[in-house]
Chain A
């Protein structure tokens, strides 16, 4: 609890500090990171707690983004309508895809979720009315009224931060609720949970739908971040990136999504923006090859921290 307050205190002070040193670019980068943290956290719910390796989470993320984008283009910029709609559509998509995919397990579940996500990707690529390949530009960020202007990057950051806090709190409550315990039990031993009498399939499906809905919320935010929706949000590379964030941060940990998103995205930008003297003296244009450094860091982390980065800080669990 103390730790959570500390983290959010730092996150709340961060933009003020950036404003003080006139580096508002980093506030924009930070809101982007926090949005990805929401998406990664949603994936962590099914992947980490549910043990269901969804390789198609970009479908819900992208669907949420497209709902907001399409509504904005069609003249419905209100966040009060567009965002719940994004969440609802993503949840519905998760219900349909989950209902079919959850009949398989293991690697086959991974592949079938991937298949559905790719289908949705190609459908949106072919929707020429809404940008197709080129993506969809929105007239601006959603409007909320009440004198709040989301176009202000500082305001936007705090809205995203508040939503991330809500998602993390909700997830904390969820995994410690009765529902969370049952999900735990199903992951540990599905046959036993079934034998005790839990409707396993329905629990897994509900878990999947909740996760999809949260991913849809993250999608609604990412559409607003740059007022632009690209079909690449739905591409399998996006699903893979979210998965990498979760694994990197810590599978089945509350903070895993936030840590993973922060490390991965910050790493990419730091390498591109900051020149480290001693590396530059060895390889003058190393910054053009940020991927190499990211890859090496990821590989090192895999080898040294098998439980993800969150595992390094965790108190040893009693088993």
Chain B
């Protein structure tokens, strides 16, 4: 196992983790503040990716398409919140699960009607298609570096937004004690709409950035949704910091597990068994990680409610 391979996988893990963080941040806020289980969060990610594909085609530019896709998805999120989800806040988790599951079905079909069932190819901006050489001689895709850069930037911005601004303060107040926040005169309805639209925009950013790496297709939201839930449970529900640490943990564990476990297994298992067991155990790793974290820290790593 060369250090170069190791570095490459570590970067891949960080890149995946940062994108997971974008999803998990919105999810953890919606969950933490509004006490709402939103299964349709993954659908916003899918819709964001599709908007991105369309806007890039329309404008002919990656950089023009990105803000348009973000804005459009944020709008979809806000409309969804005002018209529908708002009515679900007081209704118990099971009702929310059923309603947002219905939204997944509707979103999937709506996307299929609008864009067709074939996966759509989304190209990275032309200036970022080649690899760059990092110190140490590693050739790494420049687009993936961009993802890492954007993810880091958003994480920092979000951190300062939540810890240093007034809206961030309200968000934290809402997450740690909603009733108290309402009693202190916070306009919680408007705050919910803002948070939801922001969460939708973050989903769209993740969808748009990951689009060129993964295929843009119907159903892309469901699997990553479960990972995002794993992340927020590991991190502690309602905590942005927890979502960040959880996302990086999951991203790195998952990516390095997939890359290295088959190699490790083939060292001491017969090849036929190793080729089957490697990927399976790698997929299981993040769930083992979650079970382990919950065993020792039942409230997650950074519980938001004190």
Residues of A within 8 A of B (CB): 47, 53, 100, 103-104, 107-108, 111-112, 114-116, 118-119, 122-123, 125-128, 132, 236-237, 240, 243-244, 247-248, 251, 289, 291-292, 294-296, 298-299, 302-303, 306
CB of B102 within 8 A of chain A? Answer: yes
B298 in the interface (beta carbon within 8 A): yes
Say yes or no for B106: interface residue by CB 8 A criterion.
yes
A240 touches B101 (CB 8 A): yes
Evaluate contact between B290 and A291: CB separation under 8 angstroms: no
Which of B97, B112, B226, B283 contacts A236 (CB under 8 A)? Answer: B226
Q: Which residues of B contact A (CB under 8 A)?
A: 31, 37, 39, 84, 87-88, 91, 93-95, 97-99, 101-106, 108-110, 112-113, 222, 226, 229-230, 233, 237, 272, 276-277, 279-281, 283-284, 287-288, 290-291, 294-295, 298-299
**Residue pair B233, A291 in contact (C-beta under 8 Å):** no
Known: A108-B298, A115-B290, A123-B284. A299 touches B106 (CB 8 A): yes
CA distance A116 to B279 in the complex (A): 17
Give the docked Cα–Cα distance between A243 and B112 (Å): 25
Residues of A within 8 A of B279 (CB): 126
The answer to whether A292 and B110 have CB atoms under 8 Å apart is: yes
Distance of A47 Cα from B110 Cα, bound (Å): 31
- Please, which residues of chain B bring their CB within 8 A of the CB of A47? 94
Since A237-B222, A306-B91 are in contact, a sample of 15 more A-B pairs with Cβ atoms closer than 8 Å, ordered by chain A residue number, is A104-B298, A107-B237, A111-B290, A114-B226, A114-B229, A116-B287, A122-B281, A122-B283, A126-B279, A240-B101, A248-B98, A292-B105, A292-B109, A292-B110, A306-B95
Give Cα A132 to B273, complex, Å: 12
A-B contact pairs, 21 of them (CB 8 A): A100-B295, A107-B233, A108-B233, A112-B290, A112-B294, A115-B291, A118-B226, A119-B284, A122-B281, A123-B284, A126-B281, A243-B97, A244-B97, A244-B101, A289-B109, A294-B105, A298-B102, A299-B102, A302-B95, A303-B87, A306-B91
Task: From B103, B109, B280, B283, give the contact of A299 (CB < 8 A).
Answer: B103
- Considering the complex, give the chain A residue whose CB is closest to the CB of B279: A126
Given contacts A126-B279, A132-B276, contact A295 B109 (CB under 8 A): yes
Contacts of A114 in B (CB 8 A): 226, 229
Give Cα A131 to B160, complex, Å: 50
Q: From B222, which residue of chain A is reached at the shortest CB distance?
A: A237
Q: Chain B nearest CB: distance from A280 CB in Å? A: 15
- Are A104's CB and B98's CB within 8 A? no
Per DSSP, are chain B's interface residues mostly helix, strand or loop, or mixed?
helix
Query: In the complex, A47 Cα to B92 Cα: how many Å?
Result: 13
**Contact call A122/B222, Cβ cutoff below 8 A:** no
B105, A298: Cβ atoms under 8 Å?
yes
Question: Using Cβ atoms and an 8 Å threshold, which residues of chain B touch A118?
Answer: 226, 283-284, 287
Least CB distance, B94 to chain A, in whole angstroms: 5
In the complex the two chains form, what is the Cα distance from A303 to B87 in whole Å? 9
Which chain A positions have C-beta within 8 A of B109?
289, 291-292, 295
Residues of A within 8 A of B281 (CB): 122, 126
Tell which of A104, A119, A122, A295 touches B105, judged by Cβ atoms closer than 8 Å. A295
A126 engages B102 (CB within 8 Å): no
For residue A246, which residue of chain B has the nearest CB? B94
Best-buried of A289, A295, A296, A298 by chain B (most CB within 10 Å): A295
Q: Which 9 A-B pairs have the closest CB atoms?
A: A126-B280, A295-B105, A292-B109, A295-B106, A298-B102, A115-B287, A299-B102, A122-B283, A291-B105
